[in-house]
């Protein structure tokens, strides 16, 4: 039986792995389908302490993983499908059917990109519709792309895409951005960006080759229009990865894991850290911080209960 299983290999899970590793608990980290978490999908991280010149997201993940391995953390790829409690231990069932028993569990499964929920986005996924400019931006050299959203992610994606695309048009459903001032300033200063206010993408238009445009609906007048583009990037926030929690772990109305201020969930011995339990801050540094807290709580729990 494992001492502690950490679900998720983003910055929260990796920090929990460093701490539980240093506590000689030999943690097992299960990295999900987006191994390394959201940081691997981003470019420069400018606000993580200790990197005055900034650091690339994938680099930050990879050096943190090395740090965890140095203290004995072990890694396995798998998708948590179910969590069961059994006496004073837990069983994590993976998508492959493999079952792993543990004395304590730290859930750090993060959050994944939100989709609009319209049929045409799935139809053209990988054929012009993407949630990751870092992954797919390269294919839009000299082209026109639409970015949907009005938060920091939308600004970041739009600015990044101007490295390749000729024109980047942000479509936002209100007349005010949610993004921080610094991100907005960069966006508005960029000569290759433009913004369309009060519009929702109601359909993605395409042909056999892929995306050719979007159908927009004005959120004030209801008027429907069309705009041509070669790609659509969705940057409309994230949904927490908590499907496997079933009715074992208490979730809030948006699906985030409910924790107290010490990362405890409703089940003693199960802790949660990072974006899976944080709809408010969602920053790399706060995710890392809560990963540290969860690890220290797990260590204390094991000392008292096993
Ligand atoms: P967010 O702040 O939740 O913004 C999501 C945006 O998408 C909002 O503007 C929202 O519109 C819009 N939206 C949501 N659902 C929509 C739908 N169905 N149709 C159309 N638009 C929709 O998410 P985020 O931008 O991903 O940022 C998440 C967190 O990460 C934030 O705390 C942010 O500060 C942080 N972050 C920081 C950086 C950075 O500092 N470099 C970069 C990226 C993200 P409304 O405004 O109308 O709700």
Say if CB 244 and CB 35 are below 8 A apart: no
Residue 282 pLDDT: 87
Within the chain, strands assigned E span 2-7, 28-31, 44-45, 55-56, 74-77, 80-86, 89-94, 99-107, 111-113, 129-130, 144-148, 167-171, 193-196, 199-207, 210-218, 224-228, 231-234, 238-240, 270-272
Determine the average pLDDT of the residues in 34-42.
Answer: 88
Residue 33 pLDDT: 83
pLDDT above 90: residue 99: yes
pTM for the model: 0.83
Say if CB 229 and CB 169 are below 8 A apart: yes
List CB contacts of 280: < 8 A, sequence separation 6 or more.
none
Catalytic status, residue 292:
no
Q: What CATH architecture is 2-113+238-305?
A: 3-Layer(bba) Sandwich (3.50)
CATH classification for the domain delimited by 119-234, as one of 3.30.360.10, 3.50.50.60, 3.20.20.70, 3.40.50.2300:
3.50.50.60
Catalytic status, residue 245:
no
Query: Which pLDDT band holds residue 44 (cuts at 50, 70, 90)?
Result: confident
Expressed in angstroms and rounded, the spacing between residue 85 Cα and the centre of ligand 1 is 35
Determine the average pLDDT of the residues in 123-139.
Answer: 91
Q: In what order do the strands lie in the sheet with 224-228?
A: 199-207, 210-218, 224-228
Tokens 């400019």 belong to which residue? 133
Q: C-alpha angle 167/41/208, rounded to 5°?
A: 55
pLDDT above 90: residue 155: yes
Residue 233 pLDDT: 98
Distance CA 284, CA 38 (A): 9
What's the pLDDT tens digit per position in 83-95? 999 888 999 999 9
Residue 34 pLDDT: 85
Q: Is 294 helix (H, G, I), strand (E, B) or coil?
A: helix
Expressed in angstroms and rounded, the spacing between residue 184 Cα and the centre of ligand 1 is 13
Please work out whether the CB of residue 153 comes within 6 Å of at least one atom of ligand 1: yes
Domain coordinates in residue numbering, the chain: 2-113+238-305, 119-234
Residue 81 pLDDT: 97
Nearest ligand 1 atom to the CA of 114 is: 15
Query: Which pLDDT band holds residue 32 (cuts at 50, 70, 90)?
Result: confident
Length, in residues, of the chain: 306
Determine the average pLDDT of the residues in 20-38.
Answer: 94
Measuring from atom 28 of ligand 1, which residue has the nearest CA? 237
Q: Answer whether 2-113+238-305 and 119-234 agree in fold.
A: yes
What's the pLDDT tens digit per position in 195-222? 999 999 999 999 999 999 999 999 999 9
What's the pLDDT tens digit per position in 222-233? 999 999 999 999
Residue 289 pLDDT: 98
Q: What φ, ψ does residue 105 adopt, rounded to 5°?
A: -130, 135
For residue 6, what is the enclosing H or E element? strand 2-7
DSSP code for 98? -
Determine the average pLDDT of the residues in 16-29.
Answer: 98
Residue 207 pLDDT: 96
For residue 295, what is the enclosing H or E element? helix 284-305
List CB contacts of 260: < 8 A, sequence separation 6 or more.
none
Residue 26 pLDDT: 98
pLDDT above 90: residue 134: no
Nearest ligand 1 atom to the CA of 150 is: 9
pLDDT above 90: residue 129: yes
Determine the average pLDDT of the residues in 139-154.
Answer: 96
| % of the chain residues with pLDDT over 90 | 91
| % of the chain residues with pLDDT over 70 | 100
Measuring from atom 21 of ligand 1, which residue has the nearest CA? 149
Q: How distant, in Å, are the alpha carbons of 19, 47, 69 from that of 80?
A: 22, 30, 21
Residue 147 pLDDT: 98
What's the pLDDT tens digit per position in 62-82? 999 999 999 999 999 999 999
Tokens 């201020």 belong to which residue? 261
Catalytic status, residue 229:
no
Distance CA 205, CA 124 (A): 9
pLDDT above 90: residue 135: no
List 211's β-bridge partners, or say none.
Answer: 206
Region of residue 110 (phi > 0: left; psi between -120 and 50: alpha; otherwise: beta): left
Distance CA 159, CA 171 (A): 14
């Amino acid at each position: 039986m494992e001492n502690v299983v950490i679900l998720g290999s983003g910055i929260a899970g990796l920090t929990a792995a460093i701490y539980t590793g240093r506590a000689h608990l030999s943690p097992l980290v299960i990295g999900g389908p987006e191994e390394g978490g959201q940081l691997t999908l981003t470019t420069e991280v400018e606000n993580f302490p200790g990197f005055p010149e900034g650091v690339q997201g994938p680099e930050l993940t990879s050096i943190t993983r090395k740090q965890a391995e140095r203290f004995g953390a072990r890694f396995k790829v798998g998708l948590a499908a179910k969590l069961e409690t059994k006496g004073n231990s837990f069983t994590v069932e993976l998508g492959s059917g493999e079952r792993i028993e543990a004395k304590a569990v730290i859930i750090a499964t993060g959050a994944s990109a939100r989709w609009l929920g319209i049929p045409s986005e799935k139809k053209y996924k990988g054929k012009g519709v993407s949630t990751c400019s870092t992954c797919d931006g390269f294919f839009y050299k000299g082209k026109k792309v639409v970015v949907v959203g009005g938060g920091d992610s939308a600004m970041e994606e739009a600015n990044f895409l101007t490295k390749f695309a000729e024109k980047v048009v942000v479509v936002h459903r209100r007349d005010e951005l949610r993004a921080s001032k610094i991100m907005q300033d960069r966006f508005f200063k960029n000569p290759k960006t433009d913004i369309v206010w009060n519009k929702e993408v109601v359909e993605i238009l395409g042909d056999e080759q892929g995306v050719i445009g979007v159908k927009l609906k004005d959120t004030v007048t209801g008027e429907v229009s069309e705009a041509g583009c070669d790609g659509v990037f969705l940057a409309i926030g994230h949904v927490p990865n908590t499907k496997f929690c079933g009715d074992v772990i208490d979730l809030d109305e948006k699906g985030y894991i409910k924790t107290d201020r010490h990362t405890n969930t409703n089940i003693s011995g199960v802790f949660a850290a990072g974006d899976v339990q944080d709809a408010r801050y969602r920053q790399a540094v706060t995710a890392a911080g809560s990963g540290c807290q969860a690890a220290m709580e797990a260590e204390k729990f094991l000392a008292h209960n096993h």
